[in-house]
Structure 1
Amino acid sequence: MKLERLPLPGLASIVPSRLGDKRGFFSEVFKDAWFRENVADVTFVQENESLSATIGTVRGLHFQLSPFAQGKLVRCIAGKVFDVAVDIRVGSPTYGRWFGLELSMENGAQLWIPPGFAHGFATLETDSILSYKVTAPYSAEHDRGLLWDDETIGIEWPIDVNEVILSEKDLEQPRLVNLPVSFTYS
């Protein structure tokens, strides 16, 4: 597996090796001991999948508060997405900064997003499916979000932002300036 530490402390890109021939390929996409030793010593408790049927669908930016704060290991198993993490750890030298990475079946890349980041993505192809492992179960009571197009964050979405498809929930999320302290940097 190829590991790359990303510009925001805690984020990592992981690209599993693929062994292929004329039939296709084989890949070990997750190894618990390798992940614990090289990325984060965490336990994944749930795996989720989401299908976004239309190009330009934006989901996020989402996170959960403690004690249900989630680390996420995200990969795209069909289609293509632009996956984004925003540092919301008060006191972090990269507070309010974002990082985006294209995830697709073709590139096999995965993004590790530890607790303390808001997460979201935009679909770049129809019928895009994200699969992601999480370190805490979903809790509606602890579920929070951040506005996907907050100009102070300035995410450069590679889609037509005038044509996005959003849920009502994601349309009503707060801007960073109005976000209560959810995480602190240590």
Structure 2
Amino acid sequence: MKVTALDIADVLLLEPTVHGDERGFFFESFNQARFDAAVGRNVTFVQDNHSRSSRGVLRGLHYQIRQPQGKLVRVVEGEVFDVAVDLRKSSPTFGRWASALLSAENKRQLWVPEGFAHGFLVLSDTAQFLYKTTDFYSPEHERALIWNDPTLGIRWPSDTPPVLSQKDAVAPTLEAADLFD
């Protein structure tokens, strides 16, 4: 597995070693010992989630202010533009974002640590998105940032307005958001 730190060192792009031949391919999609070594600490995942979305759907930017979730994300159908935003006020990269293209074809995964907002834009006709979380979903602690906050300046790779949930459409800006210390 190749591990690359993105523009924010805590956000890691993981690229598996893929073995392929005329029959198809095989790769190890998760190995606890290798993952812990890559992130430099022991991580426990407690929940797996799976979503399916159509082209132009933007999910996010989501986080939980209490019971924060680290997320290991990947795409098993289609392609997405995946984004992590640092919401840790004490971090030197506070308010900055990192991104990666994740697809079924490239088989990449992204580690989004606790203290980050996370979201993705579907670039293919459909996308199936899988992710492991380090804490359970907690609706009372769920928060979101508005996807197009000019303070963040995320360069989404689309000129058309995204398809949003109601809660994502009215999410606050970074300036008005609940943040991590």
- Measured against aligned partners, the alpha-carbon deviations of 1:140-170 in whole angstroms (never above 9, x if no partner) come to 011111111101100000012x431001000
Q: Which residue of 1 aligns with 2:158?
A: 159
- Structure-2-length-normalised TM-score: 0.96
Query: What 5-or-longer segments of structure 2 have no aligned partner?
Result: none
Q: Which residue of 1 aligns with 2:102?
A: 103
Mapped to 2, the partners of 1:112 and 1:37 lie a distance apart of 13
Instruction: Tell whether 2:28 aligns with 1:28.
Output: yes
Q: Which residue of 2 aligns with 1:169?
A: 167
Off by >3 Å, runs of 4+ in structure 1: none
Q: Secondary structure, in 3 states, of the residue corresponding to 1:149?
A: coil
Q: Secondary structure, in 3 states, of the residue corresponding to 1:137?
A: coil
* Residue correspondence of structure 1 range 4-43 to structure 2 within 5 A: 4-39=4-39, 40-43=41-44
Question: Alignment length, in residue pairs?
Answer: 180
Q: Which residue of 2 aligns with 1:65?
A: 65
| Letter paired with 1:17 | T
Query: What 5-or-longer segments of structure 1 have no aligned partner?
Result: none
RMSD of aligned residue pairs (Cα, Å): 1.0
Give how far 1:36 is off. 1.2
| Letter paired with 1:183 | F
| Letter paired with 2:170 | E
| Letter paired with 1:60 | G
Give how far 1:91 is off. 2.2
- Measured against aligned partners, the alpha-carbon deviations of 1:17-53 in whole angstroms (never above 9, x if no partner) come to 1100011100001001111122141100010011002
Mapped to 1, the partners of 2:72 and 2:38 lie a distance apart of 14
Q: What percentage of residue pairs aligned between the two structures are identical?
A: 49
Q: Secondary structure, in 3 states, of the residue corresponding to 1:9?
A: coil
| Letter paired with 2:3 | L
Q: Which residue of 1 aligns with 2:45?
A: 44
Q: Secondary structure, in 3 states, of the residue corresponding to 1:138?
A: coil
